[in-house]
């Protein structure tokens, strides 16, 4: 059984919680998790203005963490020139709280965000990212071609990681949680309990951790238990290994 661990929403806005998650994964799974970086979270946390956090990103990168671009603002502001269909509106309402950034962009805006984000990460980290994950895994048609043109190798949704160069997809469903309170968190606690007791799965999976998962003490305990239970019995890999099979 192979698993991949990624920390989403990596931004100085969540700096302390990102570090807690990173160290927990390093300690229990023995690998550096992938880091999904937001260049300017909610238009209020530009990486350029947070040098200490950038230094941590560099240190984690040197430790082996893969750096992926995770949108640009992680904030949904629908384009006035593009009308969303019913399915998109339902997804935006059901799967996120106003953070499906790449669902409502028109083609020009989408390409500009991708290029600006990739260029910024190259500027501050010394390397251009080759992996992209849309916030909340929500994206509009045409994204794959834009990413290929921008030099990206892989992108993902809820169920698949897409190998853009080979034009194929790898089934590796994401296991994710919600620590923002309410019934969703209660369900996620139960889901984490169940998943920590699962034996070897017959397919690859991705464990998607979010800084806000730590806002619930109950969920945090179950995530620590899950990492401990799978830490030694799972073959942990990165995106490169997952794509190579």
Is pLDDT of 105 > 50? yes
Structure-token pair, residue 47: 């990486």
Write down the pLDDT at residue 3.
Answer: 93
φ and ψ at 66, to 5 degrees? -80, 135
Is the Cβ–Cβ distance between 76 and 82 less than 8 Å?
A: no
For the chain, which residues make up each domain, given as ranges? 2-244
Is the Cβ–Cβ distance between 153 and 165 less than 8 Å?
A: yes
Is pLDDT of 89 > 70? no
Domain range 2-244, CATH architecture: Alpha-Beta Barrel (3.20)
Q: How many CA atoms lie within 13 A of 70 on its CB side?
A: 25
pLDDT bucket at 135, cuts 50 / 70 / 90: very high
Q: What is the pLDDT of residues 163-208, one digit of tens each?
A: 999 999 999 998 888 766 666 677 777 777 777 677 677 889 999 9
Structure-token pair, residue 199: 């034996």
pLDDT bucket at 81, cuts 50 / 70 / 90: low
Q: What average pLDDT does this structure show over 3-25? A: 97
Identify which of 43, 32, 51, 41 has the alpha carbon closest to the alpha carbon of residue 10: 41
Is pLDDT of 90 > 50? no
Residue 9 DSSP label: E
Q: Which residue has the higher pLDDT, 234 or 45?
A: 45
């Amino acid at each position: 059984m192979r698993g991949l661990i990624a920390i989403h929403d990596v931004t100085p806005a969540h700096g302390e919680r990102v570090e807690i998650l990173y160290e927990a994964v390093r300690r229990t799974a023995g690998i550096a998790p992938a880091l999904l970086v937001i260049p300017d979270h909610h238009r209020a946390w530009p990486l350029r203005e947070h040098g200490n956090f950038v230094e941590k990103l560099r240190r984690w990168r040197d430790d082996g963490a893969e750096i992926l671009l995770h949108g640009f603002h992680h904030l949904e502001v629908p384009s006035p020139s593009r009308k969303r269909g019913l399915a998109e509106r339902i997804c935006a309402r059901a799967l996120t709280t106003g953070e499906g950034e790449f669902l409502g962009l028109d083609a020009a805006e989408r390409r500009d965000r991708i290029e600006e984000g990739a260029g910024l990460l190259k500027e501050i980290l010394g390397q251009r990212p080759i992996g992209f994950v849309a916030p909340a895994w929500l994206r509009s048609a045409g994204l794959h071609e834009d990413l290929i043109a921008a030099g990206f190798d892989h992108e993902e949704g809820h169920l698949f990681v897409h190998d853009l160069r080979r034009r194929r997809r790898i089934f590796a469903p994401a296991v994710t949680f919600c620590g923002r309170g309410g019934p969703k968190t209660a369900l996620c606690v139960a889901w984490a309990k169940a998943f920590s007791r699962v034996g070897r799965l017959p397919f690859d999976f991705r464990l998607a951790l979010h800084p806000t998962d730590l806002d619930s003490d109950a969920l945090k305990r179950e995530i620590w238990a899950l990492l401990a239970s799978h830490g030694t019995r799972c073959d942990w890999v990165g995106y490169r290994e997952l794509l190579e099979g």
